[in-house]
Amino acid sequence: MSQSFNYRHLFYFWVVAKEGGIARAAERLDMAVQTISAQVRELEKSLGVSLLRTEGRNLVLTDAGVAALHEADHIFALGELLPVRVREAATGQTLRLNLGISDGIAKLAVHRLLTPVLDEPHLRLLCHEGEFQPLLGELALHKLDAVLADRAAPPNPALRTTSQLLGTSAIAWYAPPLWAEAAASNFPHSLAVVPLLLPTDHAAMRARIDHWLERERIRPRIAGEFEDSALLSTFAATGMGVMPAPVSLGEHLAKTHGLVQVGTTPDVQEQFHLIYSARKVMHPLLTRLLEAGQGGTLLN
């Protein structure tokens, strides 16, 4: 990079791009429009390309501007974390792990998968639950160390992510006492008779369940669909219907919700993937998780 490159100039361009115009950027920064405009021109001069162009009455990004904005997002996201990370390093007492948790994944399974790092004496674990694609965006901006999800990241060279399968669990079906006998009789075809509670298509498991039901020629009577796995089990416990969940969670569902396992579908599995940005220096806790999950542990 040329010595004339100035990160302050990049910051002004970044604010202009985020605000959608020089006037709004000047208002946000409490600076003169002419000053902001001059700073952006200096950036363009140092890079040797135009980043903005006039289109009608609007100011829009050029292709080079889009690329610059993408990199600026990375740079300033890291900059926001710098003071916190430096203070933590200075004290030597905190090891932060910032994880995104896909909303379609079974939360109790998440706890089990994170067991290899939970004994870290200075751990500070931050878990952010959200939808799969937005979490990948947060990972790309380095706002997260990794994402734990029920599917691998789709191929996207721009995101530069790597996925590793940490574990799998066969799916079983659990019923409240009200429906247990009917669901267990002539399983799995009994699932066409009893009401079913299913995850929404936020969960990768839903597509696998739908495919299995179609293959078994079972036409389900769906009484409810839920994005959150904890909410799904809560409604099942009230007697609303029969639900699928990983076999590894059967003991917990029996103890806390009184649900009875009525059958298993070993060829339908929940998958647990750790998605992270490949770096020369890996987060030590991510390394520990990846080593513990080599081979895709069966969580049964």
CA distance 61 to 68: 9
**Average pLDDT over every residue of 216-225:** 96
Classify the phi-psi angles of 176: left when phi > 0, otherwise alpha if psi is within -120 to 50, otherwise beta.
beta
CA distance 32 to 217: 69
Per-chain mean pLDDT for the chain:
86
Is the per-residue pLDDT at 248 higher than 80? yes
> Is residue 42 assigned to a domain?
yes
**Average pLDDT over every residue of 177-196:** 96
Q: How confident is the model at residue 1 (pLDDT cuts 50, 70, 90)?
A: very low
Nearest to 6 by CA among 40, 49, 50: 40
Using only C-alpha atoms, what is the Rg of the chain? Answer: 25
Residue range 119-170, pLDDT digits in tens:
888 888 999 998 898 998 888 888 899 999 999 988 876 667 889 999 889 9
Tell me if the bond preceding 188 is cis, omega within 30° of 0. Answer: yes
Could you tell me the residue range of the domain that residue 273 belongs to?
Answer: 97-300
Are residues 132 and 29 both part of a single domain?
no
Q: How many domains does the chain have?
A: 2
Centre a 10 Å sphere on the Cβ of residue 42 and count the other Cβ atoms it contains: 17
CA distance 20 to 247: 50
Beta-carbon contacts of 287 under 8 Å, excluding residues fewer than 6 positions away, are none
Are residues 105 and 201 both part of a single domain?
yes
**Average pLDDT over every residue of 84-89:** 62
Residue 271 near residue 163, CB atoms below 8 Å: no
Helices (H) and strands (E) in the chain, counts: 12, 11
Q: How confident is the model at residue 92 (pLDDT cuts 50, 70, 90)?
A: low
**Average pLDDT over every residue of 209-217:** 95
Are residues 52 and 104 both part of a single domain?
no
Is the per-residue pLDDT at 18 higher than 60? yes
> Is residue 83 assigned to a domain?
no
CATH assignment at residue 174: 3.40.190.290
Centre a 10 Å sphere on the Cβ of residue 184 and count the other Cβ atoms it contains: 17
> Is residue 206 assigned to a domain?
yes
pTM: 0.67
Are residues 220 and 256 both part of a single domain?
yes
Lowest mean pLDDT among 18-22, 156-160, 176-180, 239-243: 156-160
- The 3-state DSSP class for residue 47 equals helix
Are residues 187 and 138 both part of a single domain?
yes
Are residues 109 and 68 both part of a single domain?
no
Lowest mean pLDDT among 2-6, 129-133, 161-165, 264-268: 2-6
Q: How many residues does the chain have?
A: 300
Are residues 193 and 295 both part of a single domain?
yes
Is the per-residue pLDDT at 5 higher than 50? yes
CATH assignment at residue 40: 1.10.10.10
Beta-carbon contacts of 190 under 8 Å, excluding residues fewer than 6 positions away, are 182, 183, 184, 262
Are residues 160 and 225 both part of a single domain?
yes
Are residues 126 and 270 both part of a single domain?
yes
pLDDT at 138: 86
- Sequence-separated contacts (24+) of 135-142 with Cβ below 8 Å: 135/100, 135/101, 135/102, 136/161, 136/275, 138/100, 139/100, 139/275, 139/276, 139/277, 140/74, 140/277, 141/73, 141/74, 141/77, 142/74, 142/77, 142/78, 142/81, 142/277
